[in-house]
Structure 1
Amino acid sequence: METLNERAGFLCNHEVLQILREQRDERASRIKELQRARKNGPRKEEFGTRDEIERIQPQDLHTVTFEALRYLEESVHPMRRQTTASVSKLLDELEELDLTKAERLQLVNLAPTTAVELHVCIEDITERFDEAGQERLLQLVKEHLGAEDAATAATKQAEEERIVAAAMEVDEPAQQEVDEREAEALMDDNALIDEGYAGRGDQYENDIDETAEPAE
């Protein structure tokens, strides 16, 4: 594998979180479509469908996505309080200041609330920003990323519930359904075999009765 473009662009953690959610939901939607199509399909397509599900979402990809989402959505991270609009507004404000792209990215990802945290985000901050400038940076971060209103909290809870539901559904992609259909088919085969043996038994009894009749 060759990396054609090592750094096509910068993404903040909030953008990474959004992309992971979108990709997860897209894969889950494609898997559901396959499952619905298979319900009315012939049995010979079942194993091909399982291979297709594994191709859409390999187990290692599912695990990495699930762990990354769980990490980014932990309460200790500021992404829980961020929206696309708030991040965009903050970046617009920061572009007017003497900051590099990496420093603006750090301010969004870490959302500092104290001067100590601000020093982690900006190199040589004391030489580039006086106390008033540092206070302005903290105020901008607080204004755009510091509040978590009721709507954001509701969205967060809904997203958590959706993650749990998606994880439970995709972990065993339709395996239970396949097993049930195979079990039903096996029961049908056994019933046919039993019926065949029963018919042969009746024929044997008739043959024995005919043989046992005394000759006249």
Structure 2
Amino acid sequence: MEVENPNAAMLSNYEVLKLLNEYVDEQKKTKQTRSDQNLSTITYETLKYLNETPASVQNQDSIETAVKALRPFGLTKAEKLQMINLRPTTAVEISLIIEESEERVTEEQIDDIIEIISHLPELPAEETMEEEES
């Protein structure tokens, strides 16, 4: 397998989860008996991980709303994507995501970004507590 265009598009965790679920459904429908074991393992492990993240409860509308709300802050596409995927809750986390954050955003803007990101769907509290105990 050869990667023809490695930078064709950046995908959110939600989009990757959606694509992998569609791929698995398609594989089940076609009932392919010949399967690449490595691909199956990677698909399984990725689905397992993503189903334990907020991506499993996000939807296209909530992501689009958040991206639109983040536009005024002058963030790059990659920074917006990381905001959606990582759901930062503190100023420190945001400063790690935004390159040269001290020069590009104020403390008030960081608070606004945290507020925007807090509106994204998140995992129910009992699920996150179970993960922490494991």
Contact 2:73 2:105 in 1 (8 A): no
C-alpha separation in 2, matches of 1:89 and 1:23: 26
CA displacement at 1:59 relative to structure 2: 2.5
Aligned to 2:50: 72
Aligned to 2:7: 7
C-alpha separation in 2, matches of 1:25 and 1:58: 16
Indicate the RMSD between aligned Cα atoms, in angstroms. Answer: 2.0
TM-score, normalised via structure 1 length: 0.53
C-alpha separation in 2, matches of 1:139 and 1:15: 23
Say which of 10, 19, 33 aligns to 1:53.
Answer: 33
CA spacing shift, 1:112–1:26, aligned 2, 3 Å: same
CA spacing shift, 1:146–1:127, aligned 2, 3 Å: farther
The share of aligned pairs that are identical, in percent, is 38
Stretches of structure 1 lacking an aligned partner (at least 5 in a row): 32-51, 154-216
Q: How many pairs does the alignment contain?
A: 125
Matched, 1:108 2:88: no
TM-score, normalised via structure 2 length: 0.83
Contact 2:62 2:121 in 1 (8 A): no
C-alpha separation in 1, matches of 2:59 and 2:121: 11
CA spacing shift, 1:63–1:148, aligned 2, 3 Å: closer
CA displacement at 1:123 relative to structure 2: 1.1
CA spacing shift, 1:21–1:30, aligned 2, 3 Å: same
Contact 2:12 2:85 in 1 (8 A): yes
C-alpha separation in 2, matches of 1:4 and 1:17: 22
C-alpha separation in 2, matches of 1:2 and 1:66: 22
Letter in 1 for 2:96: V
Q: Which of these two proteins has the greater Rg computed from alpha carbons?
A: 1
Where in structure 2 are the equivalents of 1:112-127 lying within 5 Å?
Answer: 112-127=88-103
- Greater percentage in helix: 1
CA displacement at 1:64 relative to structure 2: 1.3
Stretches of structure 2 lacking an aligned partner (at least 5 in a row): 128-134
CA displacement at 1:95 relative to structure 2: 2.5
> 1:66-125: CA deviations, max 9, x gaps?
111011112xx3223422211121112222321111111110110111111111211111
